[in-house]
Amino acid sequence: MKGGYDHFMMKEISEQPDSTFNTMRGRIDFKNKNIILGGIKQYLSSIRRSRRFQMIACGTSYHSCLAVRSLFEELTGVPVSVDLASDFMDRSPPIFRDDTCIFVSQSGETADSMQVLKYCRAAGCLNVGVVNSVGSSISRETDCGVHINAGPEISVASTKAYSSQFIALVMLALKISNNVIDNRERHEEIINGLEEIPNLISKVLDKKDEIRDISLKYLHGKDSMLVVGRGYQYASALEGALKIKEISYIHAEGIQAGELKHGTLALIDDKMPVVAFATQDSFSPKVNSAIQQITAREGRPIIIMSEGDKMIDQSKASACIEVPKTVDCLQGLVNVVPLQLMSYYLSVAAGNNPDRPRNLAKSVTVE
Ligand code: UD1
Ligand code: M6R
């Protein structure tokens, strides 16, 4: 069942070159740069008429929505709101008939998300699912959708579902916006980037021993840590911190790098462990300045950086993990893998069972 791995979680992390490929299989014509999503075909014109996209999810699935939000807005020109299902229900905000609500869920059974789906059905908007489990409640009760085809995810900590949700949402944004001529070059760049993703994830997985050694040396036994990222990497920071909390039981907080000076810098000293996402993109100057703010206060971050990047000052880092570079909006698919691996190794080192974290269930069917 575990395919030679000690835990389902490691099996599922390691499966990502295949699971991400399967999400795209039959849906991306890489030669002609075309996206085929059978599940939304009939509803495409209604989706394109929407004045707003409202994404709803919980936990890791919520982070996959945050990871693609700016790409959605860039390509479609339509505002995107992303809400935690529980918070959405607490507010019960207005939903219009010309909204498209996108429900993202691995299990398709999460009670909070189902509750919002009922609310949105009553409001008369179009409801689209992005779901792993075929035949689940969300898959059945949405008007249409996209199955992410990641295969069964057994470990409570979600890993391969995250990368596949991320890709399914990117494909959805590409499909919705492929009638806009101005997008053509960007579309081609992203589709070419998607083709490379399984291979790039494999390259990060090849570094797992290095990532284990760094985690054990600098993070094992700590009570608390920060994970810092900005722009496309803010979602990676939140998701990385959730993984660490969930299975290693170390308090971890995902921080938007621009927010450091609004409070969190007060926590930085030579004892506070920090992981910083600093792969190259248009936000790099700002991220590098945030790293300087950290090192100036004796923080010694572990930096996730692009291979061969000469702009990163490695002299004051505890360690640097080099990852392959891809298109800016897809980089999170590569960057999240070291954090998945770190959380796994920290969990095992702490004597925990990463597949069955205390107090948590795989599918949260109560509100
Ligand atoms: C479908 C088949 C796939 C087949 C392919 C061939 C299923 C589940 N999938 O994949 O086996 O290889 O055609 O062209 O039979 N849906 C929702 N909500 C969701 C997710 C999906 O309503 O959250 C609906 C879709 O609108 C669609 C159906 O479920 O009607 C299947 O969706 P999906 O598996 O994504 O469609 P295809 O990729 O076309
Ligand atoms: O099945 P769903 O994607 O709706 O589940 C949502 C969350 O419960 C889930 O992602 C949870 O946060 C994971 N255990 C995180 O690893």
pLDDT of 74 strictly over 90: yes
Instruction: Tell me the mean pLDDT in the region 298-310.
Output: 97
CB of 38 shorter than 6 A to ligand 1: yes
| Rg of the chain in Å (alpha carbons) | 20
* The pLDDT of residue 28: 98
- Out of 36, 134, 147, 149, give the residue to mutate to test ligand 1, the one with the largest number of ligand atoms within 8 Å of its CB: 147
Q: Which residue has the tokens 């909070």?
A: 112
Q: What is the pLDDT of residue 234?
A: 98
Q: Looking at residue 84, what is its pLDDT?
A: 98
Ligand nearest the Cα of residue 64 is 2
Confidence of residue 1 (pLDDT cuts 50, 70, 90): confident
Inter-residue contact 85 to 340 (CB < 8 Å)? no
Q: Provide the 8-state DSSP code for 53.
A: E
Are the beta carbons of 280 and 306 closer than 8 angstroms? yes
Tell me which residues have their CB closer than 6 angstroms to ligand 2: 58-61, 105-107, 110, 113, 156-158, 242, 246, 363-364
The residue-averaged pLDDT of 284-304 equals 97
pLDDT tens digit sequence for 135-149: 999 999 999 999 999
Contact 128, 103 (CB under 8 A): yes
**Residue 366 three-state SS:** coil
What percent of the chain stands above pLDDT 90? 96
Reported as a single tens digit per residue, the pLDDT across 153-207 is 999 999 999 999 999 999 999 999 998 888 999 999 999 999 999 999 999 999 9
Is residue 365 very low, low, confident or very high in pLDDT (cuts 50, 70, 90)?
A: confident
Asked if pLDDT for residue 8 goes beyond 90, the answer is yes
Distance of CA 187 to the CA centre of its chain: 20
* Direct distance between the N- and C-terminal alpha carbons of the chain, in angstroms, rounded to an integer: 31
pLDDT > 90? residue 350? yes
Q: What residue owns the CA closest to ligand 2's atom 9?
A: 59
Please report the atom of ligand 1 found closest to the CA of residue 108: 23
Say if CB 365 and CB 109 are below 8 A apart. yes
pLDDT number for residue 367: 82
CA of 119 to the centre of ligand 2 (A): 21
Residue 277: partners with Cβ closer than 8 Å, 6 or more residues away: 227, 228, 229, 230, 233, 236, 237, 287, 304, 335
Among the bound ligands, the one closest to the CA of 129:
1
Residue 180 to residue 163: CA distance in whole angstroms: 26
Cα 203 from Cα 264, distance rounded (Å): 33
Six token digits for residue 334: 């590569």
Does the C-beta of 144 come closer than 6 Å to ligand 1?
A: yes
pLDDT of residue 363 exceeding 90, the answer is: no
Dihedral angle of Cα 171, 173, 178, 182, to the nearest 10 degrees: -130
Give CA–CA dist 291/18, Å, rounded. Answer: 34
Query: At 242, is the pLDDT very low, low, confident or very high (cuts 50, 70, 90)?
Result: very high
Nearest CA to ligand 2 atom 11: 59
* Residue that is written with structure tokens 């009922």 in the block: 118
Token representation of residue 361: 């269930």
Q: What does the mean pLDDT of the chain come to?
A: 97
Q: What is the pLDDT of residues 305-333, one digit of tens each?
A: 999 999 999 999 999 999 999 999 999 99
Q: What pLDDT, on the 0 to 100 scale, is given for residue 192?
A: 98
Per residue in 101-121, pLDDT (tens digit) is: 999 999 999 999 999 999 999
Distance 305 CA to ligand 2 centre (A): 27
Complex prediction ipTM:
0.98
Closest C-alpha to ligand 1, atom 16: 145
- Give residue-wise pLDDT tens across range 36-66: 999 999 999 999 999 999 999 999 999 999 9
The residue among 81, 97, 92, 80 whose CA lies nearest residue 119 is 92
